[in-house]
Every structure is written in structure tokens, then in C-alpha cells.
Structure 1
């Protein structure tokens, strides 16, 4: 996938750091985090991952839980710190 290659070239330690802090993330949740880091909208993520909006919400909810984020914590801020 060109997106993943470009992402890894621009952010070579992101996935490693993400999985170090949240080792239980699935491949799909990691991909979601990559899209979120670039501020993709839910609609764009739905199209890119070929999933429904509710599935994006489920992935996001599970990822936040595995990252141990509080309801008030921003997933975008968390991902941008990695």
C-alpha cells in the first residue's frame, strides 16, 4: 500500500512507539491510528478501509481503551506525541 510506505518513510518510529505503549492493538487499529494521525475524517477512513462508520467508531473505541485514554483525552494529541 502506497499510504503505508509513505507513512513509514515520514514517521519511521510511529508504529514501533505506538505498539510499545499499546501492545494489544490489532493491525486494523494501527492502520486507523495512522489515518487519524493525518487527520483523516471518519468518512475518508470508511472509504479507505472499506468499512462502515460504526466500524470506524468501534475500532476507535477499542484503540482508545487499549491506549488507556480517558474520555477527556484526545486521541489526536496522543498520536501526535508518538
Structure 2
């Protein structure tokens, strides 16, 4: 996938750092985090991952739990600090 290759080229330590802090994330949740880091909308993520909006919400919810983020914590800020 060109997006993943470009992402890894521009952010070589992101996935390693993400999995170090949240080792239980699935491949799909990691991909979601990559899209979220670039502030993609749910609609864009749905189209790119070929999943429904409710599935995006489920992935996001599970990823937040695995990252131990509180409701008040921004997932965007968290991902951009990695």
C-alpha cells in the first residue's frame, strides 16, 4: 500500500513507538491510528479501509482502551506525540 510505505518513510518510528506503548493493538487498529495521525475523517477512513462508520467507531474505541486514554484525552494529541 503506497500510503503505508510513504507513512513509514516519513514517520519511521511511529509504529514502533505506538506498539511499545500499546502492544495489544491489532494491525487494523494501527492502520486506523496512522490515518488519525493525519486527521483523516471517519468518512475517509471508511472509504480507505472499506469498512462501515460503526466499525471505525469500534476500532477507535478499542484502540483508545488499549492506549489507556481517558474520555477527556485527545487521541490526535496522543498520536502526534509519538
TM-score bracket, normalised by the shorter chain, equals: over 0.9
**Paired residue for 1:63?**
63
Structure 1 distance, partners of 2:38, 2:81, is 13
Deviation, 1:61, is 0.1
Where does the alignment leave 5 or more consecutive residues of structure 1 unmatched? none
What do residues 16-71 of structure 1 show as CA deviations (whole Å, max 9, x unaligned)?
00000000000000000000000000000000000000000000000000000000
Structure 2 distance, partners of 1:24, 1:38, is 22
Deviation, 1:6, is 0.1
Aligned residues: 82
Structure 2 distance, partners of 1:73, 1:44, is 23
Q: TM-score, normalised by structure 1?
A: 1.00
Deviating above 6 A after TM superposition, structure 1's stretches of 4 or more consecutive aligned residues are none
